[in-house]
Amino acid sequence: MNYELLSSQVIAIARLAGNFIRKESMNFDSETIEFKGLNDMVSYVDKTAEEILVDNLAQLIPGAGFTTEEDTIDTKGNTYNWIIDPLDGTTNFIHGIPTYSISIALYEEDKPVLGIVYELNRGEMFHTFKDAPAYLNYKPIHVSRRNNLADSLLATGFPYYQFDKQAQYMQLLAELMQKTHGLRRIGSAAVDLAYVACGRFDAFFEYNLNSYDVAGGAYLVQQAGGRVMNFSGGDEFIERREILATNGLIDFSMLEAIGRHFNSL
């Protein structure tokens, strides 16, 4: 598999879906939204963008499986599997807040080999592939080199439907507010991870996310020199649905802070 060529083809497909999303954002009617669950919204834009991605990606690797947020298709491939979020940050999109993205990952034998996060409003295409660095608009990027939690800027997300751990989470946020340069919640986990990869954030943490939220961005962080783990420091961040992505220098401080408030979410 020529992953460099494949990544160029996937980028072109992401841009195609992105053009559709941008066009629809100009006249989007919030009355068209549907609810999949509490505070879990979807629109025809998500669904159509996903169809564009699936239809075109399926032609690149015949027989590859798909995991998609809007259930356009859900199949398991023998070797290759795409993991797709057509519009990460749907709530932002619906409310006209200009931070949302397309996230695409390709797994080979259950290992990531390609990752893309396309932040639409800034026109920033983050991508990486096997045995390559991570790139932002084709320029190599690297995680930050800050090794002190006190100098770090962190990103997170807030629970919006599973509130049983809310008290512990708020206690953790209160501690980190006092020990860092600050916390940001911009509403797209894929973008948060891409920003860790390029050094804008020094760490990102959140729980109750799905594979399509984090697969592409997590691979970007790893290929940019960072680390991605669950809240106990293990590798099963997708299976455990809890993710801590760092620059690889403040891991211990972050895990220590998390551990003070809960062993695992």
Domain edges within the chain: 3-140, 149-261
| 166's tokens | 């809310």
What's the rounded mean pLDDT across residues 22-49? 75
Asked whether the predicted pLDDT for residue 62 surpasses 80, the reply is yes
Mean pLDDT taken over the chain: 92
What's the confidence (pLDDT) of residue 39?
Answer: 45
Residues annotated in a binding site: 69, 85, 87-88, 213
What's the confidence (pLDDT) of residue 71?
Answer: 77
Strands 153-156 and 182-184: parallel
Which of 28-32, 41-45, 149-153 comes out lowest in average pLDDT?
A: 28-32
Asked whether the predicted pLDDT for residue 207 surpasses 50, the reply is yes
Asked whether the predicted pLDDT for residue 263 surpasses 70, the reply is no
Q: Which amino acid is at 34?
A: E
pTM of the model: 0.94
What's the confidence (pLDDT) of residue 23?
Answer: 93
Long-range contacts of the stretch 122-128 (C-beta < 8 A, 24+): 124/194, 125/11, 125/14, 125/15, 126/194, 126/197, 126/198, 126/217, 126/220, 127/7, 127/10, 127/11, 127/220, 128/7, 128/219, 128/220, 128/223, 128/224
What's the rounded mean pLDDT across residues 230-235? 94
What's the confidence (pLDDT) of residue 76?
Answer: 92
Residues annotated in a binding site for Mg(2+): 69, 85, 87-88, 213
Q: How confident is the model at residue 32 (pLDDT cuts 50, 70, 90)?
A: low
**Domain 149-261 in CATH 2.60.120.560:** no
What's the confidence (pLDDT) of residue 69?
Answer: 85
Superfamily of domain 3-140: Fructose-1,6-Bisphosphatase, subunit A, domain 1 (3.30.540.10)
Higher pLDDT, 204 or 24: 204
What's the confidence (pLDDT) of residue 27?
Answer: 85
Higher pLDDT, 262 or 195: 195
Asked whether the predicted pLDDT for residue 46 surpasses 80, the reply is yes
pLDDT tens for each residue of 98-155:
999 999 999 999 999 999 999 999 999 999 999 999 999 999 999 999 999 999 999 9
Asked whether the predicted pLDDT for residue 36 surpasses 60, the reply is no
Number of helical (H) and strand (E) elements in the chain, helices listed first: 8, 15
